């Protein structure tokens, strides 16, 4: 059913997601789907949780084997943007707090895993303050990823909107942050 949600988000937007539409897309009755999801919020929360985990996997894949923490942090950003380009519907859903249950324990666990990657690897419980370079890097990465996922970069030359072009822009940020 969650695969159907991704298709609906990609083709029609997140607002078009309903339990009935997702059930119809996979050929089951909406009554059967209601046994698994009580409402649209529960369905979108499950989907966002899955997507957050998959986003973390993309980032972890890019970081694998990196010893230098600065390069690992940069590579995590490349994974973030790669996910946005490969899975724009999934990417759009992860941070839609108004539509999901942000107190859901599984969603919170998935977001905590993401936060470790996004903010430099220090658990929130051990942070005395938010590392501002990490916040700036996340903001820039998220902005580029969102522009790419939403198609706003489609008028740019292919080399500028490719993962390589976006990674080059991130590399400039990495250099400026030292």
**Tell me, what's the pLDDT at 24?**
86
Name the residue among 52, 69, 31, 160 with its Cα closest to residue 113. 52
Residues in the chain: 178
**Tell me, what's the pLDDT at 121?**
61
Q: Domain locations in the chain? A: 39-177
Distance of alpha carbon 52 from alpha carbon 58, whole angstroms: 10
pLDDT tens string 88-119: 999 989 999 999 999 999 999 999 898 888 87
Is domain 39-177 annotated with CATH 1.10.357.10? yes
pTM exceeding 0.95: no
Distance of alpha carbon 126 from alpha carbon 114, whole angstroms: 16
The tokens describing 174, both together, are: 């990495």
**Tell me, what's the pLDDT at 54?**
96
* DSSP states of 114-168: HHHHHTTT--GGG-SS--HHHHHHHHHHHHHHHHHHTTTTTTS-HHHHSHHHHHH
């Amino acid at each position: 059913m969650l695969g159907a949600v991704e298709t609906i988000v990609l083709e029609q937007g997140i607002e078009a997601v309903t339990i009935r539409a997702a059930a119809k897309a996979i050929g089951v009755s909406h009554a059967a789907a209601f046994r698994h999801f009580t409402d649209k919020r529960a369905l979108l929360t499950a989907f966002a949780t899955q997507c957050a985990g998959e986003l973390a996997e993309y980032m972890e894949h890019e970081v694998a084997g990196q010893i230098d923490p600065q390069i690992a942090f940069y590579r995590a950003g490349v994974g973030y943007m790669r996910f946005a380009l490969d899975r724009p519907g999934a990417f759009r859903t992860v941070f839609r707090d108004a539509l999901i249950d942000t107190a859901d324990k599984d969603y919170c666990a998935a977001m905590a895993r993401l936060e470790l990657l996004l903010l430099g690897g220090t658990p929130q419980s051990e942070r005395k303050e938010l590392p501002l370079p990490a916040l700036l890097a996340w903001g820039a990465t998220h902005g580029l990823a969102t522009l790419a996922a939403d198609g706003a970069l489609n008028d740019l030359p292919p080399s500028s909107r490719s993962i390589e072009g976006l990674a080059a822009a991130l590399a400039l940020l990495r250099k400026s942050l030292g």
